[in-house]
Amino acid sequence: MNEAYLFLTGPALWISFVIFIGGLVVRTAFYIGLSRERDKVFYNHFDWGWSLRSIFAWLVPLGSVSWRQQPVFALVVWVFHLGLLGVPLFLEAHNILFEEAWDWSLPTLPAAVADWGTLVVIACGVFLILRRLVRPEVRLLTSAWDYFLLLLVMSPFVTGYLAYHQYGDYELMLVLHILLSEVLLVIIPFSKLGHMILFFFTRAFIASEMGARREVDGRLGARTW
């Protein structure tokens, strides 16, 4: 376990972060370059105001019409994403590692809050999987890869929870927790999970296109939320 742990928390961790950050930068740069080549006219009417309004509306719970049309799904998705970002970033154990490695750390969540937050993320993930299985219109658009990505996103939370509470083999759960987290980081830039960055560009593009060019009832500006 010691050799595996040292490798995963040493070279493998740095490789994962380099691929994660570098992959997102390269993918973003590629799409911006492609957009400038094929959608040159768009940059003539890009609008920060419409872009930011659209992004904000889609980030807040039930902020868009589409969200309000399916409020349960919208709230689950919002809570799921909040937990995905908040629990790992503000977990005390992770911030101890940040402090040891880089001499800085973020504020930390109380242990009970982080614990319940982990369970909420897992519950939301299960809900999203069941929704894909139960709803025919969603199941039709879901591939095996989509299920794999959802399970992969949940896996660090499951293994982290099991390791923290020492259910089963602690050393095995800890190694799996680190390994699956690093696999997730590596896959993010090259999969649908890249929407963690691309979402902002998509919303800005659509909002500028609709808000700065389309007319509604004789007035310029069509909301995209």
For residue 225, the model assigns a pLDDT of 72
Weakest-pLDDT range from 23-32, 46-55, 169-178 = 46-55
Query: Could you give the percent of the chain with pLDDT greater than 90?
Result: 65
Q: Is the pLDDT of residue 1 over 70?
A: no
- Contacts (Cβ under 8 Å, ≥6 apart) of 69: none
State whether residue 32 is helix, strand or coil: helix
Contact 62, 71 (CB under 8 A): yes
Q: How far apart are CA 141 and CA 126, in angstroms?
A: 18
For residue 49, the model assigns a pLDDT of 87
For residue 50, the model assigns a pLDDT of 87
Band of residue 169 on the pLDDT scale cut at 50, 70, 90: very high
The model's pTM is 0.90
Domain range 2-220, its CATH number among 1.20.950, 2.60.40, 2.50.20, 3.40.630: 1.20.950
Contact 225, 69 (CB under 8 A): no
Q: How far apart are CA 201 and CA 149, in angstroms?
A: 22
Show the DSSP H helices in 91-169 as ranges.
Answer: 92-102, 111-134, 136-139, 144-164
For residue 223, the model assigns a pLDDT of 74
Q: How far apart are CA 54 and CA 57, in angstroms?
A: 5
What is the average per-residue pLDDT within 73-88? Answer: 96
For residue 35, the model assigns a pLDDT of 86
What is the average per-residue pLDDT within 164-175? Answer: 93
Q: Is 211 left (phi over 0), alpha (psi -120 to 50) or beta?
A: alpha
Task: Give the other-Cβ count within 10 Å of 33's Cβ.
Answer: 10
CA neighbours closer than 13 Å in the CB half-sphere of residue 41:
3
For residue 30, the model assigns a pLDDT of 93
For residue 129, the model assigns a pLDDT of 97
For residue 91, the model assigns a pLDDT of 94
Q: Is the pLDDT of residue 26 over 70?
A: yes
For residue 164, the model assigns a pLDDT of 94
Burial class (CB in 10 A: 0-12, 13-18, 19+), 194: middle
Query: Could you give the percent of the chain with pLDDT greater than 70?
Result: 96
